[in-house]
Structure 1
């Protein structure tokens, strides 16, 4: 119960990313390093008892592999504490390390493209893509966050198509010039938001999900992406970007200057409500994802759908005010959603005995009745030393890899707060 209270407070009260230096870790070009006096490996995870249980459930027993997952968890916790809290509270034990490694990998990729000129960001993305491609082919990597995700991909026998699709899709946002129509917005979701969602969603079912599963994941990705276009409207306008289609503005008689100036008019309110209604329709359609998931993941996905709906209803209430300030969640409403989801997760979570030291050494087969099981991973080459550097990222610099994204919220888009089913 204490863990629930701590994480729930984090989820409902966090309104921004940590300030530089707030965490005991610093992301550098060659990987993850500890600040003087900070703890390393598993010791950096506060909720150690449940974290070790999750690693055991996912059959992660090797100390080096556990260190890689701990690095991914620490990175995600400081980059997006609310998302980390939701996974830890509501996620199925066996799936938690995989989900965390997937979101950490996607977040790190996004952070590489978050600063600098378009040409600089494109060069960093190209180098990272080549490194990921080599890692997928060889079965090992020199970056701890990538090593953790690579192990999840191997263990769950995940096809590589969504990884390559996401890395290719990340290019579309580097030279973004706006949407002319809703078709352009849909293409953006197909190229970037949907592959982002599948980086973790395709780890749920061993060998990847069915075509229907991918389609409902696409609906949830669209709902969250459209919600973020609205909740981040104020910040995007300040950054010189507008993610609402030009034809939608014309249809409602709204100009970009109306939005930038924060005009409180009936036309702007109608535009906002219309965009929110389209997103709500996608959210309602995405509710089908719950039945496509194993029972222990119903609570997490139901929470994701309901939170998206709650935010969109809040956007409709705020109307034109979303052009003047970022949209923040109501803590009491979020806590109510989280409490209901947590109670459901507790009821449906498989009963597993806490592994003893002897059991951990024996690598036991944990009870997973009626649940999809992880595939047998291929034999991997030995992992390089943990302090090995990765030269292509040396030019990224501390700012891009140390502090993470500057956006806020529990979920976002492929621009910094990417969609999260």
Structure 2
């Protein structure tokens, strides 16, 4: 039987890290490689090196391509499997590309971190995939329930969160037994408001001042000028500078997370997946609940874990590890429970026998022009096609009109519902 060939495709920092790690964790007898797609948010070379450092995928197996180069290569020689690691709109565009090939590959997708609660958008954008990879028993239950409730059909399979698997293997370096750093895992949009982010910066400053013998390391996702999956409007370096003179033991770092954890006594965050990496290495964590617990903060998953805490806990160094029951349900299950590779192999068998069903693609109004517009919006100037430029010229004003009409309808509905109230 020919060797199973899988290609991962990603563009932004978190998705490149996730895709490389998932492809790198695939069976050694698979032919594994990856393509980094040229988009306006594509990773820098340094971000790429950091993502590959603990992935299990060699640098030689990764190449950068334009959309057209990708299209030409997979049309000429389709792989057995593609793993699409990207934001939802780009997954939709790539799914259309692969679904249209004469011998289309098996399409696999997933999300790069904590994905509780399950969302309808995640299901809709990834509807063209044959397999949706989730990373915990809880995710599988919640996504399956949402899929059944909405009628947006998906097949789900379980894989240990690749970052947690790498951490558990000790894939960076052995942890320093004298570690004393407090590592703060920064996030681009959690919290979102400037005032809240400034409050976090002030808190980190107070934590550094409280104990000069420990470093407080603000671990960033990207260096200045590098892109992230989500746009960061108020960066922590800028916020910290606005506070005036800073203690010497408050430092900013862009090193890989695994390297930062090598010297960590504890990790603090709002809801970063880095918390799972730390727990996998038995490094205690603190998930700050100073702004509450909500889906917008992506910290609902930590309810019942025992790791939620306050600024007082941070200052006092009260970090902790979650309960065993929480670990089993949330990202740290027994790896023997993983079934994603077996599911992929079943789909590949169907493909090779000519029995792979057509991909289920959500179609909207606009046909080919709509598809061109969606491609142009995710690729930006990296899509030089004339139809893409035309679709953008038509689509932007048309979308503005639709949004104006929708807002007017919403206001009208509010007015109608308020009428009876005011007459009482």
TM-score normalised to structure 1 length: 0.28
Larger radius of gyration: 2
**Structure with greater contact order relative to length (CA < 8 Å, sep ≥ 6):** 1
TM-score by length of 2: 0.28
